[in-house]
Chains A and B, each alone.
Chain A
């Protein structure tokens, strides 16, 4: 009877702690929200650079301005220890981030620089925008190559 009770109690604990695990790390959803905003703006600039959508100076400038501002969001509370892909579900952030935090922040600063560069030229025509989009892509890739796991 006692082992049964123990198993039952364990099951109940497990079931109730599963959603709690996700709620314990709201930072994961929050930082993913930030990346979604990056993509929301980068996709328009990239779409113009690739000819998927027509170039529009005003829309391009707005997207680049947005990107400048959202990449300035202070990161200090978004990456708490223990929110890596080996510790918790729902993230592709590799533990290597926390082992190389200085490098991670250098690469993030690279993204900020690329966003600043794009903001300076996005309204100046397609020929000016294209290299800026390339620089933004390279800044994204710099982190994705080292610090992001394959999608599940």
Chain B
């Protein structure tokens, strides 16, 4: 006799909880879905820009596009952005895509707006999120005119018909939509090093934080792969192999302004070890910039050193 009663009494609150939970769950899911929607660059920021290919070359060298997007191997031509290089990470393996002007396999059909959205917001022409292995996390800080110039320059490079490879990622990182939540948490267009910077330090901050994206390798990451800005440039595990990416700030870094600028120009450390690994490509690009740009990066690096 008491059993059905007891059952029905316990069922009603149960149902209520279920319903409330369901409503909250659906609302949360809807909110997350809304938050995670890919958002392009605001039209006002990029409207009416006209790129200059000649100016874009320096942006291309400073941003280091070729370091990741040229074909794998040291003999590869840094102007042929065929992609294919693999990047191991805790989330799986990313493959740099073809970003040559090939109309089918590259970005030849992209409009300038497509390009700006990809580079500065991490949103593809199809309206999907890019993984932050592509450092739009840095390029979001760039001057839109520079990115328009970069677009104009890259469209003058040789086309290559190598198909891009699919990333090989573990679940749930394989769900692109989830990157919208990551972006909501970590995508930030503000500077990391702030304060009263002089002209050279300000230029160096622009080159380093917005274009050259030094921090992407030299700063450790949290469990979700976001940069730990409290340990900015203080060295990190090598994501793609043995050893560590060295500190370029913090107590263990004692290079002078001359040392840093000379290293970026020559690849020689102050003790005359010679650059290797993935940094060799970075130096190969940066050393083509004006020496004053390398001096500016050096000024910034020393400023970033607490």
Residue in contact with A137 in the complex, picked from B238, B246, B258, B267, CB distance below 8 Å: B267
Binds B, one of A19-27, A68-76, A140-148: A140-148
Interface residues of B in 248-287 (CB under 8 A from A): 258, 262, 266-268, 271-277, 280-281
Chain A interface residue count, Cβ-Cβ cutoff 8 angstroms: 24
Check if A148 sits within 8 Å of B272, measured CB to CB. no
Check if B274 sits within 8 Å of A137, measured CB to CB. yes
Q: B242, B271, B280: which has the most chain A beta carbons within 10 Å?
A: B242
**Which residues in A have their C-beta under 8 angstroms from that of B268?**
46, 50, 137
Q: How far is the CA of A69 from the CA of B132 in the complex (A)?
A: 49
Q: How far is the CA of A100 from the CA of B246 in the complex (A)?
A: 27
Q: How far is the CA of A50 from the CA of B244 in the complex (A)?
A: 28
Q: Any chain A CB within 8 A of the CB of B46?
A: no
Interface size class of B (residues with CB under 8 A): 20 to 34
Residue in contact with A144 in the complex, picked from B241, B242, B275, CB distance below 8 Å: B275
Check if A150 sits within 8 Å of B242, measured CB to CB. yes
Check if B246 sits within 8 Å of A151, measured CB to CB. yes
The chain B residue with its CB closest to the CB of A143 is B276
Q: How far is the CA of A133 from the CA of B262 in the complex (A)?
A: 13
Check if B276 sits within 8 Å of A144, measured CB to CB. yes
Check if B280 sits within 8 Å of A85, measured CB to CB. no
Residue in contact with A141 in the complex, picked from B241, B244, B271, B274, CB distance below 8 Å: B274
The chain B residue with its CB closest to the CB of A107 is B74
Task: Give the Cβ gap from A19 to chain B, nearest Cβ, in Å.
Answer: 22
Q: Any chain A CB within 8 A of the CB of B4?
A: no
Residue in contact with A50 in the complex, picked from B245, B266, B273, CB distance below 8 Å: B266
**Which residues in B have their C-beta under 8 angstroms from that of A47?**
272
Question: A39-B271, A39-B273, A141-B276 are known contacts. Are A146 and B262 too (CB-CB below 8 A)?
Answer: no
Instruction: Indicate with 1 or 0, residue by residue over A37-71, a CB within 8 angstroms of chain B CB atoms.
Output: 00100110011001010000000000000000000
Q: How far is the CA of A134 from the CA of B242 in the complex (A)?
A: 28
Check if A137 sits within 8 Å of B266, measured CB to CB. yes
Task: Give the Cβ gap from A120 to chain B, nearest Cβ, in Å.
Answer: 21
**Which residues in B have their C-beta under 8 angstroms from that of A31?**
none
Task: Give the Cβ gap from A10 to chain B, nearest Cβ, in Å.
Answer: 27
Residue in contact with B244 in the complex, picked from A42, A143, A151, CB distance below 8 Å: A151
Check if A145 sits within 8 Å of B242, measured CB to CB. no
Q: How far is the CA of A145 from the CA of B280 in the complex (A)?
A: 6
Q: How far is the CA of A151 from the CA of B252 in the complex (A)?
A: 14
Question: A85-B242, A149-B243, A152-B242 are known contacts. Are A43 and B272 too (CB-CB below 8 A)?
Answer: yes
A selection of 28 A-B contacts at a CB cut-off of 8 Å is A42-B272, A43-B272, A46-B266, A46-B268, A46-B272, A85-B242, A86-B242, A92-B243, A140-B274, A141-B267, A141-B274, A141-B276, A141-B280, A142-B74, A144-B274, A144-B275, A144-B276, A145-B275, A145-B276, A145-B277, A148-B277, A149-B277, A150-B241, A150-B242, A150-B244, A151-B243, A152-B242, A152-B243
Residues of A within 8 A of B (CB): 39, 42-43, 46-47, 50, 52, 85-86, 92, 134, 137, 140-146, 148-152
Extra 18 A-B pairs, beta carbons < 8 Å, given A39-B273, A150-B244: A46-B268, A50-B262, A50-B268, A137-B266, A137-B274, A141-B267, A141-B275, A141-B280, A142-B74, A145-B276, A145-B277, A148-B276, A149-B241, A149-B242, A150-B242, A150-B243, A150-B245, A152-B244
Residues of B within 8 A of A (CB): 74, 238, 241-246, 258, 262, 266-268, 271-277, 280-281
